[in-house]
Amino acid sequence: MIGWVEEKVWASKLLTHSGLQTLKVQAETDEQGNWKLTKIKARRFFSTDKDDFHDAGRNAYTAFRIWLLDCDVSWSVNERDAASCRSC
């Protein structure tokens, strides 16, 4: 990371942290090993640790895919909902 610009260093730290949290997300099962499902028959998940970076990454990826498929260049995140993180 020597010689990297600050944004690249932070991106690397955030992606690493998100990846570590992703490893701690698991599907819920009952005592017989069957998937626990939501009302709409989707699998339920839980995290054995914090999952804020994992959730943020998933939401960012979903928003990017929506933007990419929508091809609407006027689409953007509301400034009030935008976030930055310096906690790593």
Instruction: Note if the pTM is more than 0.85.
Output: no
Q: Which residues contact 88 (CB under 8 A, 6 or more apart)?
A: 10, 13, 14, 17
Per-residue pLDDT tens over the stretch 3-59: 889 888 888 888 888 888 888 888 999 999 999 999 999 999 888 888 787 788 888
Domain positions in the chain are 6-70
Residue 34 token pair: 């069957």
Q: Is 10 helix (H, G, I), strand (E, B) or coil?
A: helix
pLDDT band at 71 (very low <50, low <70, confident <90, very high): low
**Distances in whole angstroms, Cα of residue 85 to Cα of each of 68, 69, 81:** 24, 27, 13
